Amino acid sequence: MIAMKRILEDLLGLLYPNLCYGCFKHLYAGESLICTDCLYHISYTDHHLDLKNRVAKQLWGRVNFNAAMALLNFKKGARVQNLIHHLKYKNQRLLGEKLGTMVAEKLLVSPFFGEIDLIVPVPMHPRKEQKRGYNQSECIAKGIAAVLNVPVNRTALLKVTETSTQTNRSRYARHENMKMVFLLAKPAELKGKHILLVDDVITTGATIEACALEICKGNIAKLSIAAVAFAD
Ligand SMILES: [Zn+2]
């Protein structure tokens, strides 16, 4: 009966292609959003096992934090870029949650990310969020929250200034662009807690730095940082 159901699902998949967001190949029964081949072959960083990883080094001297990690290496033209593109621009919220789940599974086996109290996604400006319909970092946060059984807070930290697209800016311009962009509106909600700040892709660290500097005004216990991908 189960085998029959699988055959029917596979037939339906042929009629209504259910494609992997990493490689665009057909997904088989039992696979969802990302195929087994991609899950096996995408470039994992293993940052969760190394306190001196490249994301952490990127942030040293700029913010006070407990530990930082990204799940995947972002390379142009590679499967991780396809995943991030669909997460950010193609309304694939469930993909965000799945990637969040994958981040959380690494956090669970890491010696450095224990006892997180609250998850704070990098906020999006309300106008941009309304236009896109969702905040991809919040989707990732939701996936992490489900595994760690920890709440998500989206009211304490706000994005109060709209920023232009970062893609073609220099490092210095990106940094300047991020000043005064985020605001800790409700510090009491973070007070005394171990916060996990969550982003989609960390590049120069300017966004994380700006968010972290605000979060640290809230008299928190500890700040940890997690992202889906690291692009250098
Ligand atoms: Zn695939």
CATH number at 172 reads 3.40.50.2020
pLDDT > 90: percent of the chain: 75
Cα(37) to ligand 1 centroid in Å equals 6
Q: Select from 135, 72, 57, 136 the least CA-distant residue to 105.
A: 72
Measured in Å, residue 231 CA sits from the centre of ligand 1 at: 20
CA 137 to centroid of ligand 1, rounded, Å: 22
CB atoms within 10 A of CB 158: 18
pLDDT above 70: residue 191 = yes
The answer on 216 and 116 residing in a single domain is yes
Arithmetic mean of pLDDT, 105-112:
97
Regarding whether 138 and 57 lie in a shared domain, the answer is yes
Ligand 1 center from residue 58 Cα (angstroms): 30
What backbone phi and psi angles, to 5 degrees, belong to 156?
-75, -45
Average pLDDT score over the chain: 90
Q: How remote is the CA of residue 174 from the centroid of ligand 1, in Å?
A: 33
Centroid of ligand 1 to alpha carbon of 19 (angstroms): 8
Q: Are residues 31 and 49 in the same domain?
A: no
Q: Which residues contact 171 (CB under 8 A, 6 or more apart)?
A: 204, 206
Tally the domains of the chain: 2
Domain around 66: 43-230
Task: Examine the domain organization and report whether 71 and 150 are in the same domain.
Answer: yes
Distance CA 125, CA 160 (A): 6
Same-domain pairing of 30 and 80: no
User: Per-residue pLDDT tens for 60-91?
Assistant: 999 999 999 999 999 888 899 999 998 988 88
Amino acid identity, position 66? N
Q: Are residues 11 and 70 in the same domain?
A: no
- 10 versus 56: the higher-pLDDT residue is 56
The verdict on 71 and 30 lying in the same domain is no
For residues 87 and 34, membership in a common domain is answered with: no
- The three-class DSSP label of residue 162 is coil
Residues 50, 28 within the same domain: no
Higher-confidence position of 184 and 175: 184
Q: Given its phi and psi angles, is residue 26 left (phi above 0), alpha (psi -120 to 50 degrees) or beta?
A: beta
Task: Give residue 77 CA to ligand 1 midpoint distance, Å.
Answer: 14
* Residue 185 clears pLDDT 60, i.e. is over it: yes
> Which DSSP helix (H) or strand (E) runs through 209?
helix 206-215
- 27, pLDDT greater than 80: yes
- Which of 4-8, 11-15, 78-82, 124-128 has the lowest average pLDDT? 11-15
Q: Do 126 and 28 fall within a single domain?
A: no
Per-residue pLDDT at 58 exceeds 90: yes
Output the CA 99–ligand 1 centroid distance in Å. Answer: 14
Question: Ligand 1 centre and the CA of 183: distance in Å?
Answer: 38
In angstroms, the CA 63 to CA 206 distance is 10
Same domain? 109 vs 217: yes
Q: Are residues 23 and 114 in the same domain?
A: no
